[in-house]
Amino acid sequence: MEYTISDVAKLMGVSAHTLRYYDKEGLFPNVKRVNGIRIFEEKDFAWLRVLNCLRNINMPIKKMKEYVALCALGDASLAKRLAMIEEQEQSIDSQIKRLQYYKKEIAFKKAYYQTAIKEGSEEAVKDWPCKEATLSLDRLPK
């Protein structure tokens, strides 16, 4: 079965504009064209999923292009591709750690508001033990 760029955009949950941009940047080296129109096939979806993943983990386009170029080299680039994927994994781990850190502040604020609502006033929580920010980055210098 063949798919247009609009079909792929709907199926992948991305905009057609994004896919056109990726094509312009050379991220679809194996997508065939008929009369200048991109035609995607079933076999292209595995590659589209990889690109979608890389985009969703905030890999810059420049690095995505590097990854595509390495893939084109075949087995000779396996170690370099692995290194790129491991670097992205470290970036994801760092993002998760940072989000977990901020989740603590959100949990505190959630409990604060839940208690204030339950008691009918913020007066009920004004003397909570945590009067200053719990996160070091949010503290004001003394």
Per-residue pLDDT at 36: 83
In sequence order, which ranges of the chain are alpha helices (DSSP H)?
A: 5-12, 16-24, 44-56, 61-72, 78-119
> What's the confidence (pLDDT) of residue 135?
56
Half-sphere CA count of 110, side-chain side, radius 13 A: 6
Judged by phi (left if over 0) then psi (alpha if -120 to 50, else beta), residue 60 lies in: beta
11/40 Cα distance (integer angstroms) = 12
Fill in the amino acid letter for 37. Answer: I
- Tell me the two tokens of residue 138: 């949010």
pLDDT digit string (tens) for the chain, length 142 residues: 999 999 999 999 999 999 999 999 999 988 888 888 889 999 898 999 999 999 888 899 999 999 999 999 999 999 999 999 999 999 999 999 999 988 988 888 888 889 889 999 988 888 877 655 555 555 545 5
Closest among 44, 40, 49, 58 to 14, alpha carbons compared? 49
- What is the per-residue pLDDT for 20? 92
Break the chain into its structural domains and give their ranges.
2-72, 103-138
What dotted CATH number matches 2-72?
A: 1.10.1660.10
The pTM (predicted TM-score) of the whole model is: 0.72
Write down the pLDDT at residue 61.
94
